[in-house]
């Protein structure tokens, strides 16, 4: 087992915390594949609708899930990719325009255009999570996916910016760090799910990914291969369970089984 190829993922939901440790195998970087080595799970009591409500309780859940995954994998990790979601997530479209440095567009031109689009003013109480290029325009030609090698004098990029609340992000990182680990990167959960389960054809034709958790339901809409909309609804499996309890007069455990 090559420790340099180990990756760990952490999903902290309102009802349970799940951890996974895997090894990146295959032909890197062209055809990487993932070999799952260990998984761990713990009940969550310190999260509410995607936001940390009790750091100590959340820390305990994270520690148990990751330690269980480490025992199964027979390996120790120090960094994790941590999922984040919730009503504090926002998305917007930004554009960046640059003059092309020569007759042909090169990667540095694309990087400059992307950087201009990424430099959109973000409020102090928010932080940029993802900057996803949507399409490019070369002079007056629109809808270009990869402009490198094309001729033109003006390059414009359209970028989808995803931002999150600074406080929820800080508290999430703090919970992971108190458990003894470091957050390598925060990842938006519906985007991660989309990468895992949607095919390129589905995203091209148009598809909505709906992910219902205990506290919230996340939505990601794709069309023409691009992310078009992200949303979170403050309704989840706990609401369904509560309705069954009150509607049928049964216990919480029975309501969970009926659901």
**What's the CATH code of the domain at 36?**
3.30.420.40
Question: Is the residue at 205 inside a domain?
Answer: no
The predicted model gives 35-56 an average pLDDT of 94
Question: Is the residue at 241 inside a domain?
Answer: no
pLDDT at 80 over 70: yes
Question: Is the residue at 128 inside a domain?
Answer: yes
The predicted model gives 179-189 an average pLDDT of 97
Question: Is the residue at 203 inside a domain?
Answer: no
**Same domain? 36 vs 151:** no
Last residue of a domain, one of 161, 178, 207: 161
Question: Is the residue at 190 inside a domain?
Answer: yes
pLDDT confidence of 167, banded at 50, 70, 90?
A: very high
The whole-model pTM stands at: 0.86
**Same domain? 151 vs 26:** no
pLDDT at 2 over 80: no
- CATH number at 124 reads 3.30.1490
Query: Tell me, what's the pLDDT at 4?
Result: 79
Query: Tell me, what's the pLDDT at 129?
Result: 96
pLDDT confidence of 50, banded at 50, 70, 90?
A: confident
Question: Is the residue at 247 inside a domain?
Answer: no
The predicted model gives 36-48 an average pLDDT of 94
**Same domain? 74 vs 176:** yes
Domain count, the chain: 2
For 206-244, what is each residue's pLDDT tens digit? 999 999 988 889 999 999 999 999 999 988 888 888 889
What is the domain extent for residue 124?
90-161
For 123-143, what is each residue's pLDDT tens digit? 999 999 999 999 999 999 999
Last residue of a domain, one of 112, 134, 161: 161
Last residue of a domain, one of 150, 180, 198: 198
Q: Can you give the chain as a three-state secondary structure string?
A: CCHHHEEEEEEECCCEEEEEEEEEEEECCCEEEEEEEEEEEEECCCEECCEECCHHHHHHHHHHHHHHHHHHHCCCCCEEEEEECCCCCEEEEEEEEEECCCCECCHHHHHHHHHHHHCCCCCCCEEEEEEEEEEEEECCEEEECCCCCCECCEEEEEEEEEEEEHHHHHHHHHHHHHCCCEEEEEEEHHHHHHHHHCCHHHHHHCEEEEEECCCCEEEEEEECCEEEEEEEECCCHHHHHHHHHHHHCCCHHHHHHHC
The predicted model gives 96-109 an average pLDDT of 93
pLDDT at 1 over 70: no
**Same domain? 40 vs 96:** no
Report percent pLDDT > 90 for the chain.
75
**Same domain? 182 vs 68:** yes
**Same domain? 80 vs 177:** yes
**Same domain? 173 vs 81:** yes
- Looking at every residue in the chain, the average pLDDT score rounds to 93
């Amino acid at each position: 087992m090559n420790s340099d190829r180990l990756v760990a993922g952490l999903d902290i939901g309102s009802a349970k915390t799940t951890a996974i440790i895997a090894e990146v195998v295959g032909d890197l970087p062209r055809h990487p594949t993932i070999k799952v080595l260990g998984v761990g799970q713990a009940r969550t009591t310190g999260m509410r609708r995607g936001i940390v409500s009790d750091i100590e309780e959340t820390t305990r859940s994270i520690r148990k899930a990751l330690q269980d995954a480490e025992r199964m994998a027979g390996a120790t990790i120090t960094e994790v990719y941590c999922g984040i979601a919730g009503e504090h997530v926002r998305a917007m479209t930004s554009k960046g325009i640059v003059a092309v440095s020569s007759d042909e567009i090169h990667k540095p031109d694309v990087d400059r255009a992307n950087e201009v689009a990424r430099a959109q003013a973000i409020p102090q109480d928010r932080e940029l999570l993802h900057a996803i290029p949507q399409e490019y325009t070369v002079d007056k030609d629109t809808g270009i996916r990869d402009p490198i090698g094309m001729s033109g004098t003006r390059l414009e990029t359209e970028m989808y910016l995803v931002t999150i609340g600074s406080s929820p992000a800080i508290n999430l990182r703090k919970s992971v760090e108190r458990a003894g680990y470091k957050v390598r990167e925060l990842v938006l959960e519906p985007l991660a799910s989309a990468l895992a389960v949607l095919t390129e054809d589905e995203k091209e034709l148009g598809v909505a990914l709906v992910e219902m958790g205990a506290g919230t339901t996340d939505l990601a809409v794709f069309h023409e291969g691009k992310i078009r909309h992200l949303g979170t609804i403050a309704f989840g499996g706990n609401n369904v369970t509560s309705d069954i309890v009150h509607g049928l007069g049964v216990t919480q455990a029975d309501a969970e089984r009926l659901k």
